[in-house]
A and B are shown apart, each in its own frame.
Chain A
């Protein structure tokens, strides 16, 4: 390696400041490229219109903006899905660990189907096939589909959480004469929950992310509202970056929470 390059490398290893400056420069160039490219095509930046999409002031009165409405739907969707997903996941995990033949078969079949088909195709299947059959609206079609999808992951998290509890704990429970249900309740579950908590929170992150897909069936969530605003106002860049920013804010704060949980779990052991 030439000497200059080696000096540069050394400095990037050592100096946080130097690396940060490089990073900021790099990001600056990236942003500049995008802005410059947009300007080249005659793009009209309208960042000043963005706050209106959150809260709109009209003759002294305040109205909820479109993105806020969308965000609210996304949160509602997430809320229902989290509850239902836990239920589906728990049932599936228990069936999978049960000693019943059909229970195992059902759980395994469900997991394999979900794992081996795209979420989008599942959504179309629910929207075009199951929702007319069962007569449910778009929002609940979205909820059911996402539950069906995420439930498979939650089932695996719960199962591996329970199975990660040492075998000896079962034997100890047996040895002191506890019934199977009590062993679960007093010994296994309390130990499994701290193990399951970080991945379960991670799954909520995924749920928030994946919920964007319901915009395909025109549920009025954040992404749909974003697309509609763009269709009306042509502020593609501003709106997309804002929408992505909102999702990032939610998911990143959840992942910080996960890190915290993980660290806490690691310390308590």
Chain B
């Protein structure tokens, strides 16, 4: 492929023309047919408003939702990374049984629709596992420190067990993808490294810890960062099992204000800004790491 200089040509004319036609059609339909009047000011209070009693700025549904999304993403990546490392090591273990279990997990999760997985798993979790684990009791405990901790870390204690179910669903789902990332990372280390490690008399465990993993980490980090962004996006699905994160809140606000166009454009924009900021940040980190390695 020759690298030619970009310049204006007939393709540009075509592109600009089609965009223009598209925009004109849309604008005309919005104005004449649907008779929609835009009103962005109505949704501002759903982000932040002045509390009547205290007179202070207070965050509202959308910001709460955003915080919840961030919590899901951060806790989710930690939990799914743990699952991913454990299952990834099982996936390449010499123990056939562990390999079979890990393989089943990965294939099962990756071949069912996320939606179906989340529904099934949520149903299972909320009816069976959560009562056993005693999450509800923890959330209802009267200890003020526990209540305070839950509120800071996980939002409203009333929804705590719900939040945990959503988080577990999401982590187990993403964990399958991280399993494959870890597997690929470890397997990308040449066989000679294993052999050299064994030949100098290290045990299998020591070879893994001192030789293979330190090298694999460099190869796992970029796709893992990518998975974090995917996790932010996938977290929107747990809105369907009533976890009150950004998408859930957007649905609520849309229904209650009927400012539907504004709220959805804004919500999409919020996700875009967050994810794109992460992309830029990770790219910057990677460039810096590459420079440091040289």
Question: A residues touching B (Cβ–Cβ < 8 Å)?
Answer: 9, 12-13, 15-16, 18-20, 22-23, 26-27, 34, 37-38, 41, 95, 97-104, 106, 112-113, 115-122, 124-125, 128-129, 132-135, 162-163, 167, 170, 205, 208-213, 215-216, 223, 226-227, 236-237, 240-241, 243-244, 247-248, 251-252, 255
Contacts and interface: CB of A to CB of B under 8 A. Distances in A.
Given A23-B100, A100-B12, A170-B2, A134 B29 contact: yes
B112 A244 contact: yes
A213 B96 contact: no
Nearest 5 interchain pairs by C-beta? A212-B113, A19-B96, A100-B11, A116-B275, A118-B236
Given A12-B95, A209-B114, A252-B107, A121 B264 contact: yes
B254 interface: yes
For the residues of A in contact with B, the DSSP-based class is helix
A27 B100 CA distance: 11
A223 B279 CA distance: 33
13 contacts: A16-B96, A100-B6, A106-B15, A116-B229, A117-B233, A120-B236, A121-B264, A213-B237, A216-B115, A240-B116, A240-B120, A244-B116, A255-B111
Contacts of A244: 112, 116-117, 120
Interface of B: 1-2, 4-9, 11-12, 15-16, 19, 26, 29-30, 33-34, 94-101, 104, 107-108, 111-117, 119-120, 123-124, 127-128, 229, 232-237, 239-240, 247, 250-251, 254, 260-261, 264-265, 267-268, 271-272, 275-276, 279
Contacts of A216: 115, 240
Nearest to B276: A116
B233 A119 contact: yes
A247 B111 contact: yes
Nearest to A15: B96
